Structure 1
Amino acid sequence: MSTTRVQPTKGQLPDDTGAFAWLRALGPRGRRAFGGAFGGYALDSYDYFTLPLSMVAISAYFSLDNGQTGLLTTVTLVVSAIGGALAGILADRIGRVKALMATVITYAVFTVACGFAPNYETLLVFRALQGLGFGGEWAVGAILVAEYASAKHRGRTLGAVQSAWAAGWGLAVIVYTLVFEFLDPDTAWRVMFWTGALPALLVIYVRRHVSDAPEATARRQASTTRGSFTTIFKKDLLRVTLFATLLSTGVQGGYYTLATWVPTYLKTERGLTVVGTGGYLALLISGAFLGYLTGGYLTDRIGRKNNIALFAVLSALGILCYSKLPEGENGLLLLLGFPLGFCMSAIFSGFGSFLSELYPTAVRGTGQGFTYNSGRAVGAFLPTWVGYMSDSWGVGGALLLGAVGYGLAVVALLGLPETQGRELP
């Protein structure tokens, strides 16, 4: 992997250090790509959170126990590994934009289908198929933008893309609050899934206005190994692939444990109403949004590995404080939601740049798609574990298992190189 620095292209002045220098440096095509990737990831997040937010209503409707409910999340994330790997290979073979559209259409169609599920088994199947698109969108969108971004600004640029997750999460909470306030729960959870048709509008924009980065496309098309799955397991990339997968497993295991079970924890063990839960999540989400942006800035300043290690430790400490707060301290719980959301999101800001820089152009999609989503699939067993352990530990106590994931992430960093400042060849 080359580490030589290239001369800035027109519009990418070396002294351009304003707050939005990273956005100006992308150029017109790059900014359109950023818009498509940001929108795709925001709506990916929205469609994902239709399940956790509706989990209590779905559990009551189908008479599920916590283990069965947690399995709905786990199967989504496990299948997302397949979707992510396939999308990464497609991104390397047919292009970033075409693969991005395919992932968005897939997760939108099957999110809507979930709203028509007549029983638990059908819902489980539809949710698994939704995972195919859900798994591929982020990796493809992140690579699309990374290949437009300069090394100087890549962390901030990809951190901004990552912040779309908080935007989609916030939109889902707003819609959830309104839908469950005015509709019967047995109908409301179905309506939440039906609103997952929104991403279809984004596909129209992407198809008309977004294109792959020309130089990266030419280099990728000239390679005889583009989209080769076996290449990422060959000697020169095997170590990177294994440790990047372990890193992703740890971080996402911790994250999805919280994202899946915090709404249920707030309702069942803290006794909050639907509107109250929305208020608590508002602080969590606003912390997440600022965390993504801050983490993007720090990953360019202190390095990819240091940023991840810092927020892995802080996230684990946040889980301990959040889950062990005494009864009657809901006011303090509200305040703790902000730093928890901040830390568990800032850790992700460096992922887009870090994984993109670890792999050569010909297999960048394949490597990033596989490692990010395989890690998500393995880490997905943590939410199910929490579901089963909550019967004896309570949801709050079982949330502590999320800290195990962050410990794995710190260990994984020992096997990976620092890539700060690395130009994409």
Structure 2
Amino acid sequence: MTVEQTSSQPIEIAEVKDASLFAFYRAMNLQERRTFWACGAGWALDGMDFMIYPLVIGTIITIWEIDAASAGFAGTVTLLASAIGGWLGGYLSDRIGRVRMLQITILWFSFFSAVSAIVQSFDQLLVARALLGLGFGAEWAAGAVLMGETIRPQYRGRAVGCVQSGWAIGWGGAVLAQALLFSYLPAETAWRWMFAIGALPAFLVFYLRRFVSEPEVAQVTRAKQLTTGDQPALWEIFSRRILRTTILASLMTTGCQGGYFAIAFWVPQFLTKERELSVVGSTGYLAMLIAGSFVGYLVGAWLADRAGRRNLFLIFSLGAIAIVWLYTQLPLTNDILWLLGFPLGFFSTGYYAGVGAFLTELFPTRLRGSGQGFCYNFGRGIGALFPLLVGWLSSTASLANAIAIFAVAAYSLFFLAAFALPETRGRVLHPET
């Protein structure tokens, strides 16, 4: 254990003695493992639920005769709502507890995914996806803080990063469901069943209620706040002592999420529209993208503890810029494009493995839910504009060029903001008022 001195107070840093990827799991106690599997399953189902809409967007455009910009707007509305939900969800997790907030949010977005399956117009779908977004954003805020506070500091990067890999599993589940449903059902029915499957996360609440408990550091802090009456205000993350961190972290998450959304939301349409693949025929290309994403999460989780959070972000943002340009701008055969799907998935998502742990370590315990929830979901809210902007630009330029322009701009912002923030690897979290 080492101590670093800052301008305000010493920061305790835990030494990483075993840097192998799965060392964290071997060292976990029962409560840590239960929390790990609960959050991993929740994030996988979260990923599946979110990725359903980009996969059925082409069908919805055809059935309801809307343009690409309008279809992209529905994705943007979902993400904007998730930004609001994430900040409020993080704040409430500081007030009522991480586990309780996680249960509420899972039930919320599962219900509105089911509602999305029975809507009768695009306007109704827009409202249902917006309400789903509120719970979707709040779920990440509560779950990420829960994981960050439960896992020991020397393993936090790998454990939280491996939980993030659940997103790729959920994404893969959505693509598999698409391949099966669109093979055996007419498109007019298949997309509704896709949204119905998105209600599955509701069953996870039973596991949370029985097996997952509140982190000790959060319990102690909240008990002190109740005793003294000094509970955090919603706007405290903008106070002078923490404002710089809040701004830079928000810019960083804007870049990392804007780049991902520009790719993930429109690549399925790029494959079917500009590469002229069928919905089922594009499955293999998306599978390669998802495989790269999954491996990227695991490598990113390892690098987060081995090389540090900042180095992970810097390496992957540069890699993402390079591979996006290659994927969208070169006249490649479909076979080469299929192979490039792996590094595209690897670099465009693997950095997420370090984001949750990094944000957890940047903020003090009394503001952790609020700060982490705001910064991540501010980035999600601004990044939410990218599907809309890509769809808008694609009406006058090629979809490939639109994806490249906004993805490269986003990853450049990600690089610059991450470079300006401090390294937090191994930082020990303490209860405080």
Q: Normalization by structure 2: what TM-score?
A: 0.94
CA distance in 2, matches of 1:106, 1:41: 15
* 1:365 counterpart letter in structure 2: G
1:86-235 matched pairs, under 5 angstroms: 86-223=88-225, 224-235=229-240
The answer (yes or no) to whether the contact 1:239–1:415 under 8 Å persists in 2 is no
Q: 1:2 to 1:150 in 2, by over 3 A?
A: farther
Q: 1:4 aligns with which of 1, 4, 12?
A: 12
2:312 aligned with 1:307: yes
The answer (yes or no) to whether the contact 1:307–1:350 under 8 Å persists in 2 is yes
Q: Percent identity?
A: 44
1:70-108 CA-partner distances (Å, limit 9, x unpaired):
001100111111110111011111111111111111111
Residues 404-413 or 226-235, more deviating? 226-235
Residues 298-307 or 21-30, more deviating? 21-30
1:270-285 matched pairs, under 5 angstroms: 270-285=275-290
2:322 aligned with 1:317: yes
1:217-366 matched pairs, under 5 angstroms: 217-223=219-225, 224-326=229-331, 329-366=333-370
- SS of match in other structure, 2:151: coil
Structure 1 stretches lacking a partner, 5+ long: 9-13
* 1:42 counterpart letter in structure 2: A
CA shift for structure 1 position 276: 1.9
How many corresponding residue pairs? 418
- SS of match in other structure, 2:150: coil
CA shift for structure 1 position 59: 0.7
Q: 1:220 to 1:113 in 2, by over 3 A?
A: same
Q: Normalization by structure 1: what TM-score?
A: 0.95
CA distance in 1, matches of 2:131, 2:27: 37
CA shift for structure 1 position 112: 1.0
1:257-306 CA-partner distances (Å, limit 9, x unpaired):
11100000001111112222111111100110110110111111111111
CA distance in 1, matches of 2:21, 2:48: 28
CA distance in 2, matches of 1:179, 1:283: 20
CA shift for structure 1 position 424: 1.0
Structure 2 stretches lacking a partner, 5+ long: 1-8
- SS of match in other structure, 1:423: coil
Residue aligning to 2:375? 371
The answer (yes or no) to whether the contact 2:90–2:370 under 8 Å persists in 1 is yes
* 2:222 counterpart letter in structure 1: R
CA shift for structure 1 position 201: 1.1
CA distance in 1, matches of 2:162, 2:30: 17
Q: Structure 1 runs of 4+ off > 2 angstroms?
A: 14-20, 223-228
1:296-351 CA-partner distances (Å, limit 9, x unpaired):
11111111111111111110111101111316x00000010000100111111110
CA distance in 2, matches of 1:130, 1:68: 18
The answer (yes or no) to whether the contact 2:114–2:196 under 8 Å persists in 1 is yes
- SS of match in other structure, 1:275: coil
The answer (yes or no) to whether the contact 1:26–1:148 under 8 Å persists in 2 is no
1:48-73 CA-partner distances (Å, limit 9, x unpaired):
11100000101111101010010011
1:220-240 CA-partner distances (Å, limit 9, x unpaired):
331355452221110111000
Root-mean-square deviation over aligned CA pairs: 1.5
CA shift for structure 1 position 17: 5.7
CA distance in 2, matches of 1:120, 1:275: 24
CA distance in 2, matches of 1:166, 1:389: 28
1:333-373 CA-partner distances (Å, limit 9, x unpaired):
00100001001111111101100000111110110001000
Q: 2:411 aligns with which of 382, 403, 406?
A: 406
Q: 1:16 to 1:408 in 2, by over 3 A?
A: closer
CA shift for structure 1 position 136: 1.5
